[in-house]
């Protein structure tokens, strides 16, 4: 169950050469490389005695890691990116598994499908196999530093792989060697699940090993993890473990859940890791543009190294993804469009610029006739709202036009070119996502696999938020305010930058809201509400949208009015059992030592 035989991995070694020829992370070309033996003479021994071949094998592991939230989602008919599982957005396409199974809560052991499910032991086998071989690499192939750097990458990827598993399933089997069906004892070949705590501790152990081995920065090759990526994973994973310990419940003798007594130690570990990154790593919050909304949007487009700690590199036209194709407003489409329709609940989470209060708080200054004005600038950096200029043209979101008391809902005359009802692929809530989309002076019409926006996996903004959350959970409110203030300042907020009017759980909840907004559509929200054990509340809601009605008076002047409406026919439903994914009967049939998670 947990192995890939060597003959399957190597596939007569031809695939390794294909990786070198096609994988576009930077493998250097040289005369020596061009003089490699012909394909039918490459052996497994050659791979581990040639740095370029070795790196190509590692780069393929990078490419298979479960960390990209921009890549395509077509597998299994899911029909959206993973944030479509959260309260940030609903899926737009009615036929998808997302809308028909996952959001209504109609799923269980038969629905173990990507992008939610990931049982990545094939990747872990390759990582373990690579560690065993690179540890034996002779000095004439890899210098000591080169060997340590590659071992650091592998420990980082193994840590991330087990983190991807534990946040889905709780405890899983920990396997730290490349199993071989001919030599591995049966008990080790079909292992039982480790406890959730043991898996988190393994993640943190591998992350520390990676930090000790990796370089501060890679001098030339983008897409390779530096040591600060490993420390960032420690910051994140320890925060997850702390939350599970504080808010979760231990079941199945610890296969799921972590004892409450462990919470503070994990919070402190997360805080210490975050503090070290902030003070020692040399990253700064991106702050290049005077307009705060544009600055936030361009943080994800400019691909600078000031805030970004680690990202997956995509190359337009050569090795790209299709995020733009799937998410642009309807009239900008080549095919598909707007796969995620952001919710009014997300819109209502952005505070008022003049008061620092949320729209539903007394005295906030919210104007329902101008719902997008005087708001947290990140709103316009994250969402496309009515008449926003995108790719040189206004986004038209009205569902109808009223003239002289007559309401026109016809396409071409009454409905805006991107509005509700213009097409089944248009927004279902009255907004679109802006974040991660390429902008320009005219429609770009980016086709399938031609998006080149890098996928940021760790950035300094998250580290400040991790530190603020760990501090407030430890009762260190002053430190929590110290860490949240730079995020709010960079966002362009003007009031209550340190959240001084809140304390205790109210301050904790505002810090959580800050995380929701700052990290929106970066594949955090679904996992965050689960680890805080509030998903049964936050993901069991009636999703709302905002209808825009255009009115034209006798002089041709336009005005707009807005109406809240229920934007999903069926409420979202998150059951208690969904805090953990099912192991699945197929896996249990393959290894009867695996126990199923509660409720399945």
Q: pLDDT exceeding 90 applies to what percent of the chain?
A: 82
Taking the chain, what is the end-to-end CA distance rounded to the nearest angstrom? 21
Give the C-alpha separation, 340 to 335, whole Å. Answer: 15
Given a cut of 80, whether residue 114 has pLDDT beyond it is no
Given a cut of 50, whether residue 245 has pLDDT beyond it is yes
Give the C-alpha separation, 478 to 472, whole Å. Answer: 8
CA angle 141/147/151 to nearest 5° reads 140
What is the structure's pLDDT at 95?
A: 85
Given a cut of 80, whether residue 13 has pLDDT beyond it is no
Give yes or no for a contact between 173 and 161, defined as CB atoms under 8 angstroms apart.
Answer: no
CA distances from 455 to 295, 518, 521 (A): 17, 15, 11
Least confident of 72-86, 366-380, 557-571: 72-86
DSSP assignment string, 533-585: T-HHHHTSS--EEEEEEEEE-TT--EEEEEEEEE--SS-----GGGGS----H
Give yes or no for a contact between 454 and 314, defined as CB atoms under 8 angstroms apart.
Answer: yes
Q: Tens digit of pLDDT for each residue in 151-206?
A: 999 999 999 999 999 999 999 999 999 999 899 998 899 999 999 999 999 999 99
What is the structure's pLDDT at 472?
A: 98
Q: Classify burial at 261, counting beta carbons within 10 Å of its beta carbon; exposed 0-12, middle 13-18, buried 19 or more.
A: exposed
Given a cut of 60, whether residue 22 has pLDDT beyond it is no
Q: Give the confidence band of 113 by pLDDT, cuts at 50, 70, 90.
A: confident
- Cis peptide bond upstream of 115, omega within 30: yes
Q: pLDDT exceeding 70 applies to what percent of the chain?
A: 92
Q: Would you state the structure tokens that stand for residue 373, as one six-digit string?
A: 């004005």
Residues linked to residue 459 through DSSP beta bridges, in sequence order: 308
Given a cut of 50, whether residue 6 has pLDDT beyond it is no
What element of type H or E holds 51?
A: helix 51-64
What is the structure's pLDDT at 74?
A: 59
Given a cut of 50, whether residue 12 has pLDDT beyond it is no
Give the C-alpha separation, 547 to 359, whole Å. Answer: 18
Q: Tens digit of pLDDT for each residue in 522-533?
A: 999 999 999 999
Smallest CA-to-CA distance from 346 within 89, 569, 519 is with: 89
What is the structure's pLDDT at 367?
A: 95
Give yes or no for a contact between 431 and 349, defined as CB atoms under 8 angstroms apart.
Answer: no
Given a cut of 50, whether residue 118 has pLDDT beyond it is yes
What is the structure's pLDDT at 25?
A: 36
What is the structure's pLDDT at 10?
A: 33
What is the structure's pLDDT at 41?
A: 62
Residues linked to residue 401 through DSSP beta bridges, in sequence order: 408, 550
Q: Give the confidence band of 521 by pLDDT, cuts at 50, 70, 90.
A: very high
Given a cut of 50, whether residue 557 has pLDDT beyond it is yes
How many Cβ atoms from other residues are within 10 Å of residue 585's Cβ?
14
Give the C-alpha separation, 403 to 408, whole Å. Answer: 8
Report the DSSP pairing between strands 340-342 and 89-91: antiparallel
**Quick one: residue 27, left, alpha or beta (phi over 0 = left, psi -120 to 50 = alpha)?**
beta
What is the structure's pLDDT at 246?
A: 98
DSSP assignment string, 70-112: SS---GGG--S-GGGGSSSEEES-TTSHIIIIITTT--SGGG-
Q: Classify burial at 100, counting beta carbons within 10 Å of its beta carbon; exposed 0-12, middle 13-18, buried 19 or more.
A: middle
- 344-372 burial string, b = 16+ CB within 10 Å, else e? bbbbbbbbbbebbbbbeeeebebeeeebb
Give the C-alpha separation, 208 to 39, whole Å. Answer: 38
What is the structure's pLDDT at 520?
A: 98
- Enumerate the domain spans of the chain: 6-64+118-282
What is the structure's pLDDT at 71?
A: 86
What is the structure's pLDDT at 76?
A: 56
Give the C-alpha separation, 462 to 459, whole Å. Answer: 6
Smallest CA-to-CA distance from 454 within 300, 339, 309, 307 is with: 300
Q: Give the confidence band of 219 by pLDDT, cuts at 50, 70, 90.
A: confident
How many Cβ atoms from other residues are within 10 Å of residue 38's Cβ?
7
Give the C-alpha separation, 535 to 78, whole Å. Answer: 20
Smallest CA-to-CA distance from 365 within 350, 387, 380 is with: 350
What is the structure's pLDDT at 348?
A: 97
What element of type H or E holds 310?
A: strand 308-312
**Quick one: residue 191, left, alpha or beta (phi over 0 = left, psi -120 to 50 = alpha)?**
beta
Q: Would you state the structure tokens that stand for residue 503, as one six-digit string?
A: 């304390």
How many Cβ atoms from other residues are within 10 Å of residue 190's Cβ?
17
Q: Would you state the structure tokens that stand for residue 499, as one six-digit string?
A: 């959240």
Across the chain, what does the average pLDDT equal? 91
Given a cut of 80, whether residue 463 has pLDDT beyond it is yes
Residue position matching structure tokens 């921009």: 70
Residue position matching structure tokens 């031809």: 14
Rounded to an integer, the average pLDDT of 90-109 is 86
What is the structure's pLDDT at 75?
A: 54
| 6-64+118-282, CATH topology level | 1.25.40
Given a cut of 90, whether residue 318 has pLDDT beyond it is no
Least confident of 92-101, 229-238, 301-310: 92-101
Given a cut of 90, whether residue 383 has pLDDT beyond it is yes
Q: Give the confidence band of 101 by pLDDT, cuts at 50, 70, 90.
A: confident
Rounded to an integer, the average pLDDT of 201-225 is 96
pTM here is 0.92
What is the structure's pLDDT at 274?
A: 98
């Amino acid at each position: 169950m947990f192995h890939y035989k060597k003959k399957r991995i190597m596939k007569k070694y031809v695939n390794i050469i294909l990786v070198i020829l096609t994988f576009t992370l930077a493998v250097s070309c040289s005369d020596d490389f061009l003089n490699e033996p012909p394909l039918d003479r490459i052996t497994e021994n050659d791979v581990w005695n040639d740095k370029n071949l070795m790196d190509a094998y590692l780069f393929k592991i990078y490419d298979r890691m479960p960390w990209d939230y921009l890549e395509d989602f077509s597998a299994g008919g899911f029909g959206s990116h993973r944030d479509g599982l959260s309260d940030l957005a609903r899926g737009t396409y009615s036929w998808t598994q997302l809308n028909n199974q996952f959001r209504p809560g109609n799923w269980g052991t038969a629905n173990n499908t990507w992008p939610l499910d990931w049982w990545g032991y094939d990747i872990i086998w390759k990582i373990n196999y690579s560690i065993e071989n690179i540890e034996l690499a002779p000095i004439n192939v890899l210098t000591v530093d080169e060997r340590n750097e590659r071992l650091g990458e592998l420990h980082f990827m193994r840590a991330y792989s087990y983190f991807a598993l534990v946040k889905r399933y709780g405890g899983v089997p920990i396997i730290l060697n490349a199993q071989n069906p001919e030599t591995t004892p049966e008990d080790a070949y079909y292992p039982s699940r480790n406890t959730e705590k043991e898996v988190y501790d393994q993640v943190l152990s591998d992350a520390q090993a990676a930090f000790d081995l990796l370089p501060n920065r890679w001098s030339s090759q983008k897409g390779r993890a530096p040591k600060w990526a490993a420390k960032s994973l420690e910051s994140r994973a320890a925060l997850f473990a702390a939350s599970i310990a504080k808010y979760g419940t231990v079941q199945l003798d610890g296969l799921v859940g972590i004892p409450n007594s462990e919470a503070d130690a994990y919070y402190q570990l997360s805080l210490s890791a975050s503090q070290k990154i902030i003070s020692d790593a040399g990253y700064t919050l991106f702050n290049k543009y005077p307009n705060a909304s544009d600055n936030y949007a361009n943080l994800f487009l400019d691909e600078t190294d000031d805030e970004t700690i680690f990202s997956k590199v995509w190359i337009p036209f050569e090795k790209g993804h299709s995020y733009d194709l799937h998410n642009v407003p309807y009239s900008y489409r080549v095919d598909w469009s707007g796969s995620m329709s952001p919710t009014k609940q997300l819109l209502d989470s952005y505070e008022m610029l003049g008061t620092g209060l949320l729209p539903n708080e007394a005295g906030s200054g919210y104007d329902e006739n101008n719902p997008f004005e005087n708001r947290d600038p990140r709103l316009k950096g994250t969402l496309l709202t009515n008449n926003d200029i995108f790719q040189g043209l206004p986004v038209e979101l009205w569902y109808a036009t009223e003239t002289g008391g007559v309401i026109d809902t016809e396409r071409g005359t009454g409905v805006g070119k991107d509005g509700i009802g213009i097409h089944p692929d248009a927004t279902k809530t009255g907004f679109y996502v802006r974040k991660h989309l390429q902008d320009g002076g005219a429609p770009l019409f980016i086709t399938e696999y031609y998006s080149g926006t890098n996928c940021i996996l760790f950035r300094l903004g998250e580290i400040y938020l991790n530190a603020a959350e760990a501090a407030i959970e430890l009762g260190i409110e002053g430190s929590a305010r110290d860490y949240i203030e730079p995020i709010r300042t960079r966002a362009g907020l003007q009031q209550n930058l340190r959240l001084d009017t809140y304390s205790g759980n109210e301050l904790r909840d505002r810090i959580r809201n800050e995380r929701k907004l700052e990290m929106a559509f970066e594949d955090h929200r679904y996992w965050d509400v689960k680890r805080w054990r509030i998903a049964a509340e936050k993901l069991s809601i009636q999703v709302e949208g905002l209808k825009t009605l255009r009115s034209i008076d006798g002089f041709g002047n336009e005005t707009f009015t807005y109406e809240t409406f229920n934007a999903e026919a069926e409420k979202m439903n998150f059951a208690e059992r969904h805090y953990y994914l099912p192991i699945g009967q197929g896996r249990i049939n393959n290894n009867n030592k695996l126990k199923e998670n509660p409720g399945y």
